[in-house]
Amino acid sequence: MPDEDTAPVALVTGGARRVGASIVRALAQAGYRVWIHHHASQAAARTLAQDLGAARAVPIRCDLSDPRARGALVDAVAGPAGPFGGRLNLLVNNAAGFERGAFERRTDDDLRRVLELNLVAPLSLVRGLLSALRPRPDAERRTAGCVVNILDLGALAPWPGYVDHCAAKAGLANATRALAAALAPVRVNAVAPGTVLWPDDPAFAPGTAARRRIEARIPLRRAGTPEDVARAVLYLAQAPYVTGEIHVVDGGRLAAAGVAGRTEA
């Protein structure tokens, strides 16, 4: 593991809980120092940072739907006076909202809110932190940084009741490839998880019909875990010749849906 002066630095948005926390832990175990972004989950972010140690993880609060707050986050992360000296090697755009509702009952304001958090904010952070991710010609030679955007299967296949969400995530998927071409040598990839967490709803408790029905659609016949997503993020962070890729982590569910949708000639 590298020492604190040379250890790579990551920012994980939405890093306090659930999948984000698993990504933070995996990166810290791999030797990264990590900014743990949070909005409402302050207590969880502080607890996670304490578990990892002050030298390894720092919580930072920001409402990513607020452009001025995003600017302050960029200044804090990239500022040379900060705890990690303004260094950044990896940006993981994990924070997202997950809104549903009948299309005809939702409004343009609903759409704007979803797009702001799920599409505008990730691209805004890439733009704001690009100078920190690029190699500095006046400094000692180092590898360019990278970005990993967290999508979901809604970016690749439509979900009824989630039109706004699917539109935002599909936009981020396309932007991932566009940015990979535009920003090289900074690498930009994405991870698209399938079912890796169950809703906090008794209807999806172990053994329920709803859970069995979902698992039956997955070729591996089980749900994944947040750690599966974290391993994919770590792979992309450390794969120097991979850029513009969307790494699907779904146990084969998307592939099976494609096969099921085909008709015989």
Residue range of the domain that includes 161: 9-197+225-260
- Kind and range of the H or E run holding 248: strand 246-249
Q: Is 155 left (phi over 0), alpha (psi -120 to 50) or beta?
A: alpha
Contact by Cβ (8 Å): 242, 236: yes
Look at residue 220 and tell me if it is in a domain.
Answer: no
DSSP letters of 213-241? Answer: HHHHTSTTSS---HHHHHHHHHHHHT-TT
Residue 95 forms part of a structural domain: yes
Residue 265 falls within a domain, yes or no? no
Count: domains in the chain: 1
Q: What is the residue-level pLDDT of the chain in tens, covering all 265 positions?
A: 555 668 999 999 999 999 999 999 999 999 999 999 999 999 999 999 999 998 999 999 999 999 999 999 999 999 999 999 999 999 999 999 989 899 999 999 999 999 999 999 999 999 999 999 998 765 544 689 999 999 999 999 988 899 999 999 999 999 999 999 999 999 999 999 999 988 788 888 888 998 899 999 999 999 999 999 999 999 999 999 999 999 999 999 999 987 554 443 3
Q: How far apart are CA 29 and CA 78, in angstroms?
A: 23
Question: What SS3 state is found at 36?
Answer: strand
CATH code, 70: 3.40.50.720
Residue 19 is assigned to a structural domain of this protein: yes
Note whether residue 56 is domain-resident: yes
| Residue 202 is assigned to a structural domain of this protein | no
Q: What is the pLDDT of residue 242?
A: 98
Rg of the chain over Cα atoms, rounded to whole angstroms, equals 19
CB atoms near residue 128 (< 10 Å) = 17
CA distance 54 to 119: 31
Query: Within a domain: residue 219?
Result: no
Name the CA dihedral angle for 193, 198, 200, 203, rounded to a multiple of 10 degrees.
140
- Residue 204, domain member (yes or no): no
In this structure, the number of other CB atoms found within 10 A of the CB of residue 216 comes to 9
DSSP E strands in 7-128: the ranges are: 9-12, 33-38, 57-61, 90-93
The pLDDT value given to residue 3: 54
Predicted confidence at residue 97, as pLDDT, reads: 93
- The pLDDT of residue 43: 97
* pLDDT at residue 199, as a whole number: 77
